[in-house]
């Protein structure tokens, strides 16, 4: 039996999304919701990579388990890459997805489609039970920001983020297409073979 893999997030939708991507590999997957002693990691890194490492390393040391953590967000061309690592708290520490989306629309108000380019960015880190980083990867997904939300799928900025090739937002496209195209899916596809190999080795 391979040891359990803990997905290092308190975000239920993100946890479910990552668990679903790992399902075909028959790993034993848990989330922080399964651990009463899970800690809240302070994400005070200066990049997505730094924050992903903080979450993976500190949680792995705390739980004594393999932990997979990601840090992701949206980067808006017209805002010089903002909100970036502050995506989840763009409109404030206790901001909701709706609050963040509203603020983004305000900041881009009046800009034509050609100036509304954006990308989702994701960095994924795997730490072993001692807290050593064993694998990392990152990926992006390019798109454009709509002038109003559309669709109810996903979370975060998904109702505003239009995938150019489909002329639909992630909110409209649904989970199957998002699994194929998203920044998080691309990063996961790159790191999954390494996860499977490392957990397999640790089980021997």
Residues 33-83: tens digit of each pLDDT = 999 999 999 999 999 999 999 999 999 999 999 999 999 999 999 999 999
How sure is the predictor about 134, in pLDDT bands with cuts at 50, 70 and 90? very high
Mean pLDDT check: name the lowest of 8-12, 68-72, 181-185: 8-12
pLDDT of residue 7: 94
- 154-165 pLDDT per residue, tens: 889 999 999 988
Using CA atoms of 91, 84, 140, 103 in order, give the dihedral in degrees to the nearest 10. Answer: 30
How sure is the predictor about 175, in pLDDT bands with cuts at 50, 70 and 90? confident
The answer to whether the CB of 5 falls within 8 A of the CB of 63 is no
Beta strands (DSSP E) in the chain are 5-7, 29-31, 66-76, 117-127, 133-145, 161-163, 168-169
| Nearby residues of 185 by Cβ (< 8 Å), 6 or more positions away | 21, 178, 179
Helix and strand element counts for the chain (H, E): 6, 7
12 is in an annotated binding site: yes
Active site residues: 71
Whether the pLDDT of residue 198 is over 90: the answer is: yes
Q: Are strands 168-169 and 29-31 parallel, antiparallel or unpaired?
A: unpaired
Its domain, for residue 138, covers 5-203
Q: What is the distance between the alpha carbons of residues 93 and 25, in angstroms, rounded to a whole number?
A: 36
Query: What proportion of the chain, given as a percentage, has pLDDT over 70?
Result: 100
Q: How many domains does the chain have?
A: 1
Written in H, E and C, the secondary structure of 117-162 is EEEEEEEEEEECCCCCEEEEEEEEEEEEECCCCCCCCCCCCCCCEE
What's 170's domain CATH number?
3.90.950.10
Whether the pLDDT of residue 188 is over 80: the answer is: yes
120 is in an annotated binding site: no
**191 phi and psi, to 5 degrees?**
-100, -20
107 is in an annotated binding site: no
Whether the pLDDT of residue 13 is over 80: the answer is: no
31 is in an annotated binding site: no
What SS3 state is found at 75? strand
| Nearby residues of 28 by Cβ (< 8 Å), 6 or more positions away | 1, 2, 3, 4, 5
């Amino acid at each position: 039996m391979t040891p359990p893999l803990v997905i290092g997030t308190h975000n239920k939708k993100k946890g479910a999304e990552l668990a679903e991507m790992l399902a075909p590999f028959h790993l034993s997957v848990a989330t922080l919701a399964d651990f009463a002693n899970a800690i809240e990691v302070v994400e005070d890194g200066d990049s997505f990579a730094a924050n992903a490492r903080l979450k993976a390393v500190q949680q792995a040391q705390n739980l004594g388990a393999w932990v997979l953590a990601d840090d992701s967000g949206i980067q808006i061309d017209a805002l010089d890459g903002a909100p970036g690592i502050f995506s989840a708290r763009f409109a404030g520490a206790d901001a909701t997805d709706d609050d963040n989306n509203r603020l983004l629309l305000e900041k881009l108000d009046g800009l034509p489609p050609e100036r509304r380019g954006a990308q989702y960015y994701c960095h994924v880190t795997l730490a072993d039970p001692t807290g050593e980083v064993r694998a990392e990867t990152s990926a992006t997904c390019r798109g454009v920001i709509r002038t109003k939300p559309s669709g109810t799928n996903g979370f975060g900025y998904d109702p505003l983020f239009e995938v150019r090739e489909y002329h639909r937002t992630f909110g409209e496209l649904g989970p199957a297409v998002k699994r194929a195209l998203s920044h998080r899916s691309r990063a996961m596809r790159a790191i999954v073979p390494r996860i499977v190999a490392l957990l397999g080795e640790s089980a021997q």
